[in-house]
């Protein structure tokens, strides 16, 4: 990694560079107008790049959006704000800003152990004699290589190669799989696919709701809950057990880059309190804290968030998921022809798409909360915006702001200098951009490295 930019390094033309000046050629008011200087010509629905700020509103809690089985428990634990994920209310804050906010939750995650209500990871079961063949048709990876009681991070693509979902796939048995969904509704698509395939499977959402147990003390806590058997569960391994006297499936997985597990509670609408309270009681001696999903830590680990860093118009190669497109899978799968075409174009030196996801370090005041907008990225000359930030946060370990974002394909190389238009609350000088630089991801080592991280560590090119 090149030496990160210093906040004191001057930005080219910074004295004249306001966000209005940077986009004046496009006659753009960035607070109310879309940004046409960012190339989104290969998207049907462009990302909304209006810089509208936090625009505070009160969320309406109603019956058309589901409450998870843990919703009342999360509220009791101090949840004060939420979003909607998979058409379910999703807690996104427990420690209030005046008490330190999300960075207090971060400290609990990296030093102790935390529990997250992630029931929004709805579980779609595929079961039946043709389950393996069906799942192998809808995911890019070779499902025949996943043994029972193991899991994998997978992607499902449409016929154009766009990523429909990037769930964790759990294989409970030879004929039963669970898709632990990211934020897009997959059940209806899977049912529609099988209307055409006519395979002998049933596809349905099941009454299973997970929580995540994440942090360096997670194994000790899990051993207190289920005994020494947890020691033998490998990364992405599964274990049938009981917590609080209720049946669960435990996986060694997580959304943080820290050591961690997920507890999938069966019959969750009946037994949520029993399992949750058992974890709270066992967690007292380990300094357990209930927190929101740690986007600040997953960014450092280079973990993507569907709908934020990728969507159904994003190709795997655009967002560093090229390793999910296997060269040796002989079975056909949805999107295979398009993905192999794109890979061939890349290997031939072509540019089959406009924008590439990159990691960046950037200046400015510490970003310690969620970004309400896709902040704009310019070149080193602070000219008209060319890209946008998807996921920014401050890294205490690195002592700098870090971010993922999309830039033109030609600016993807490590060491490339950029500028980012942060809101004045985070800017070094009001109205002026901060320096940024493209760096490798992940930004810091993970306790459980992903396949992409392992490939990089072994000197293998995972770009495609």
92-147 pLDDT, tens digit per residue, is 999 999 999 999 999 999 999 999 999 999 999 999 999 999 999 999 999 999 99
Whole-angstrom distance, CA of residue 108 vs CA of residue 180: 25
State the pairing for strand pair 81-85/246-251. Answer: unpaired
Spatial separation of the C-alpha atoms in residues 394 and 408, rounded to whole Å: 24
Q: Domain for residue 187, yes or no?
A: no
By residue range, what is the domain housing residue 414?
14-54+300-314+354-457
Compute the distance between CA of residue 15 and CA of residue 73 in angstroms, rounded to an integer: 51
Q: What does the pLDDT look like over 230-286, one tens digit per residue?
A: 999 999 999 999 999 999 999 999 999 999 999 999 999 999 999 999 999 999 999
Which three-class secondary structure string do you get for 386-434?
Answer: CEEEEEEEEECCCCEEEEEEEEEHHHCCCCCEEEECCCCCCCCCCCCCE
pLDDT at 336 (0 to 100): 98
Structure tokens at 119: 């029931």
Q: Which residues contact 162 (CB under 8 A, 6 or more apart)?
A: 311, 312, 313, 314, 315, 335
Q: Which residues, 6 or more positions from 205, have their beta carbon under 8 angstroms from its beta carbon?
A: 122, 123, 124, 125, 187
What is the spatial distance between Cα 382 and Cα 103, in angstroms, rounded to a whole number? 30
Residue 209, beta-bridge partner list: 265
Identify whether 409 is part of a domain: yes
The CATH number given to whatever domain includes residue 383 is: 2.40.30.110
- At 444, the pLDDT band (50, 70, 90 cuts) reads confident
- What is the pLDDT, as a whole number, of residue 21? 53
Q: In what order do the strands lie in the sheet with 113-117?
A: 238-243, 246-251, 260-266, 208-214, 113-117, 288-290
**What is residue 180's three-state secondary structure?**
strand
Are 415 and 2 in contact, with CB atoms under 8 Å apart?
yes
Task: Report pLDDT for 6.
Answer: 46
Q: How confident is the model at residue 450 (pLDDT cuts 50, 70, 90)?
A: low
Yes or no: say if 405 and 388 are a contact pair by the CB < 8 Å rule. Answer: yes
Q: How many other C-beta atoms lie within 10 A of the C-beta of residue 92?
A: 17
What pLDDT, on a 0 to 100 scale, did the predictor assign at position 452?
53
pLDDT reported for residue 456: 53
In a domain, 379, yes or no: yes
Query: Would 201 be classed as within a structural domain?
Result: no
**What's the rounded Cα separation, in Å, for the pair 250 and 246?**
12
Query: How many CB atoms are located within 10 Å of the residue 303 CB?
Result: 23
> Looking at the predicted structure, is the pLDDT value of residue 462 above 50?
no
Structural element, H or E, at residue 126: strand 123-127
Amino acid 196: pLDDT: 97
Residue 310 lies in a domain: yes
pLDDT for the residue numbered 9: 47
DSSP 4: P
Digit-coded pLDDT (tens) for 354-382: 999 999 999 999 999 999 999 999 999 99
Chain-wide mean pLDDT for the chain? Answer: 92
| Confidence tier at 25 by pLDDT (50, 70, 90) | very low
Residue-level pLDDT at 30: 67
DSSP per-residue letters across 215-244:
STTHHHHHHHHH-GGGGG--TTBEEEEEET
What is the number of other CB atoms lying within 10 angstroms of the CB of residue 225?
23
Is 262 labeled as ligand-binding?
yes
Beta bridge partners of 177: 126, 171
What is the tally of structural domains in the chain? 1
User: Does residue 175 form part of some domain?
Assistant: no
Tell me, yes or no, whether 359 lies in a domain: yes
Q: Is residue 221 part of a domain?
A: no
Show the DSSP H helices in 130-267 as ranges: 131-138, 187-197, 218-226
């Amino acid at each position: 990694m090149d030496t990160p930019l210093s906040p004191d390094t001057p930005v080219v033309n910074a004295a004249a560079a306001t966000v209005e000046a940077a986009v004046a050629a496009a006659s753009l008011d960035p607070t109310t107008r879309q940004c046409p200087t960012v190339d989104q010509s290969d998207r049907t629905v462009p990302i909304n790049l209006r810089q509208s700020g936090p625009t505070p509103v009160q969320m309406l809690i109603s019956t058309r959006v589901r409450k998870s089985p843990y919703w009342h428990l999360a509220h009791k634990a101090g949840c004060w704000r939420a979003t909607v994920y998979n058409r379910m209310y999703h807690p996104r804050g427990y420690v209030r800003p005046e008490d330190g906010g999300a960075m207090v939750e971060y400290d609990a995650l990296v030093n102790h152990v935390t529990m997250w209500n992630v029931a929004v990871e709805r579980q779609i079961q595929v079961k039946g004699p043709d389950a393996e063949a069906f799942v192998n048709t809808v995911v890019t990876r070779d499902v025949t290589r996943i043994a029972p009681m193991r899991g994998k991070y997978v992607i499902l693509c449409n016929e154009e190669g766009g990523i429909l979902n990037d769930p964790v796939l759990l294989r409970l048995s030879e004929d039963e799989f669970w898709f632990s969904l990211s934020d897009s509704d997959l059940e209806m698509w899977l049912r529609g696919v099988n209307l055409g395939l006519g395979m002998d499977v049933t596809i349905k959402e099941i009454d299973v709701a997970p929580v995540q147990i994440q942090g360096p003390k997670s194994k000790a806590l899990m051993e207190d809950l289920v005994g020494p058997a947890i020691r033998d569960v490998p990364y992405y391994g599964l274990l049938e057990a009981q917590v609080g006297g209720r049946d669960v499936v435990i996986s060694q997985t997580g959304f943080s880059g820290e050591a961690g597990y997920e507890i999938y509670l069966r019959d969750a609408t009946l037994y949520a309190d029993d399992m949750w309270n058992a974890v709270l009681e066992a967690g007292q001696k380990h300094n357990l804290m209930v927190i929101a999903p740690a986007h600040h830590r997953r960014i450092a680990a280079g973990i993507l968030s569907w709908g934020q860093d990728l969507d159904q118009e994003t190709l795997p190669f655009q967002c560093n998921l090229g390793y999910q497109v296997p060269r040796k899978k002989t079975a056909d799968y949805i999107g295979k022809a398009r993905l192999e075409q794109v890979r061939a174009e890349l290997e031939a030196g072509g540019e089959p798409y406009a924008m590439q996801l990159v990691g960046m370090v950037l200046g400015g005041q510490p970003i310690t909360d969620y970004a309400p907008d896709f902040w704009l990225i310019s070149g080193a000359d602070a000219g008209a915006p060319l890209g946008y930030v998807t996921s920014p946060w401050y890294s205490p370990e690195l002592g700098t702001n870090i971010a993922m974002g999309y830039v033109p394909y030609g600016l993807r190389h490590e060491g490339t200098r950029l500028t980012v238009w942060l809101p004045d609350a985070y800017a070094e000088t009001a109205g002026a951009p901060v320096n940024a630089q493209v760096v490798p991801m992940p930004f810091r080592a993970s306790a459980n490295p992903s396949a992409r991280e392992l490939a990089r560590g072994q000197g293998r090119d995972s770009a495609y």
